[in-house]
Amino acid sequence: MSKIIFVTGGARSGKSKLAEELTMQFGAPLCYLATAQALDGEMDERIQKHQQRRGENWKTIEEPLHLPQALAGCDGTGKAILVDCITLWVTNLLFLYEDQDNTEELILENVQRLAATLRSMSTPVIMVSNEVGMGIVPDNKLSRLFRDAAGRANQILAAASDDVYTVISGIPLKLK
């Protein structure tokens, strides 16, 4: 099993920047496994800014749903793999399963598959996820379901990781 690092924090906390720095310590070439989908112009612009910041040492693979399979497919193709981000992946799964009676269970089955894949990797993996449980209780069922699924996903993946960081106002704090 290779090194697994989990980076969490609030929106715009600096977690992606820290994760990129941690990933670059393994040397090039690097793999960036993106879960975001450019569904509008603003998101497309965000994605382009991230790509420009990373530079040419990164091979980008976009996979919004089948993250465990994509991660396994990247194993051995670079010195390290950055997955950004788990929260968007959970969102994508939420919309895929939202009409099911067991939506959260289906999402967490995917997260468990990801955790199992992480244990079998030979390439170091760094994951980014938002900390979503520190605010008010959402006012609708779908938002509460998202918060619960994302929080449980973070717990599962943090437990499966060797190192865990949180980032607050650009300052990283190593938790594990």
Which residues are the active-site residues? 50
Is residue 148 within 8 Å of 140, Cβ to Cβ? no
What are φ and ψ of residue 17, in 5° steps? -60, -45
Are 77 and 32 in contact, with CB atoms under 8 Å apart? no
Q: Reduced to 3 states, what is the DSSP secondary structure of residue 40?
A: coil
Give the strand pairing for 4-9 and 163-168. parallel
